[in-house]
Structure 1
Amino acid sequence: MHKSVGKRMTAAQFNDWVEQYDKAELRILKPDVGGIEWEVCFSSHLSRATRTADSIFKGEIILSEQLREIGIHAVGATTKIKLPLSLWLILARLAWYVSHRSQEEGKAQTISRARSFIESIERDYGESNVLIVSHGAFIKVLAKELRLRGYKGKTGIIPKNGRLYTFMKRQTKNDRSE
């Protein structure tokens, strides 16, 4: 896939590149889990995530479409203008951010998906150590929503493949007095 980085491509070629990327084999980087005993594991249903989850979690892995990557498509899908891959990626993410019609899912829908997933985890798994295997752009949204709910943790500007990011619920005064 890296051969395409400097390549110029049409909208159709970009959409094809995205599709191929989503199916691509990846080198499994087994993250240091810091001795944490994971009680349950959720993974995106996309093969890149399930292969990673299989490499680090021994037990049943619950696949969730809610953890899929934020899809991207070329803005102006019929244009024959050739642009660098990096520019197509920027345009597609900007289009997602403003919920442009070229994208299947806009920012508001992605946030709603992340919130729904977090609510189900909090409801069904409460205090359990939950391992979540997902994708970079969605991890950013999920992390922001976790912080808004009182979790502490960092992902950096761009989450890295194979890196473990931990989030812990902050204790409130009410939590400590119970």
Structure 2
Amino acid sequence: MRIGLVRHFKVNCPHKRMMTSEEFRQWSERYERAKVIKNKVEMYGSKWDICYVSDLPRAITTAKEVYSGNLHIDKLLREVDNAPFIHTERIKLPFEIWHVCGRLAWYFKSKSQPETREETRKRIEAFLNKIDWSKESVLIVFHGFMLYNFQKELKKRGFTGERVRRVKNGVLYQFIGENPVSTESASDDKEQSVS
């Protein structure tokens, strides 16, 4: 079985270099609504039996460019929220600090983040337990941080592929493996899917 993972196109949402926590939060909200910058995705002639996609607009727009069939939209594939790790009123920090420290806060289970590391892992597991494993090739279009964590769960299930350290926009990453055995009842999960 072959699984292809694609991060959505780059989002056209510029930011200031220095921000307060509120400015970072506002930028994050704008990012959710911003348009993408389309580019050609090298799919290496691959044919896909099915395509799952996050329900966020930037992922759906990307999926429509790389897959011509029906899309299976699923909110389990949404990006992990990255909230300000501290509250500042006047103190400004570089954008990169807000971004990186938010992810570190998630990793170290800080209450500043809306989703815990365990919740992210369970969300990925729930998705993997309900997809159609009878397909030979599955394409998944979603988000960078989610993709980074998703590959780890695939490898736990015996899939092999390039180890992705820095997830690029609009790039196909492929993983090969046997159909894994679901750890939950597939019928129960399928009823909850958003398609």
Is 1:136–1:159's contact at 8 Å kept on the other side of the alignment? Answer: yes
Given that 1:33 and 1:164 are in contact with CA atoms closer than 8 Å, whether structure 2 keeps it comes out as: yes
Mapped pair 1:46 → 2:56:
yes
Question: What stretches of structure 1 of length at least 5 have no aligned partner?
Answer: 172-178
Instruction: Give the TM-score normalised by the residue count of structure 1.
Output: 0.88
Q: Give the structure, 1 or 2, with the largest relative contact order (CA under 8 Å, sep 6 or more).
A: 2
- CA gap of 1:100–1:79, structure 2 versus 1, over 3 A, is farther
Give the distance between the partners of 1:145 and 1:113, measured in 2 at CA.
11
Q: Structure 2 unaligned segments of length 5 or more: list them.
A: 1-11, 180-195
Alignment partner of 1:17: what SS? Answer: helix
Provide closer, same or farther for how the CA distance between residues 50 and 3 of structure 1 changes in structure 2, counting only shifts above 3 A. closer
Mapped partners of 1:82, 1:153: distance in 2:
40
More off after superposition, 73-82 vs 20-29: 73-82
Kept in 2, the 8 Å contact 1:155–1:165? The answer is: no
Q: Deviations over 1:17-38 (max 9, x none)?
A: 1111122111122312112211
* Corresponding residue to 2:155 among 147, 152, 166: 147
* Deviation sequence 1:143-178 (CA, Å, 0-9, x none): 01001110011253111000001111059xxxxxxx
Q: Secondary structure at the match of 2:148?
A: helix
1:45·1:65 contact (CA, 8 Å) conserved in 2? yes
Structure having the larger proportion of residues in strand: 2
Aligned length: 169
Matches within 5 A, 1:9-88: 9-88=19-98
Q: Could you report, residue by residue, the CA deviation over 1:38-57 in whole angstroms, capped at 9, with x for unpaired residues?
A: 11100011111000000111
- Runs (4+) off by over 6 Å: none
| Whole-Å separation in 2 of the counterparts to 1:83 and 1:70 | 22
**Alpha-carbon RMSD:** 1.9
Contact residue 140 and residue 155 of structure 1 kept, 8 A:
no
CA drift of 1:15 comes to 0.5
Supply the distance in 2 between the matched residues of 1:101 and 1:79 (Cα, whole angstroms): 19
**Percent identity over the alignment?**
35
TM-score normalised by L of structure 2: 0.80
Does residue 126 in structure 1 map to residue 134 in structure 2?
Answer: yes
d(CA) in 1 for partners of 2:88 and 2:134?
47
Greater helix proportion: 1
In 1, distance between residues paired with 2:109 and 2:169? 26
Quick one: distance in 2 between partners of 1:79 and 1:115? 38
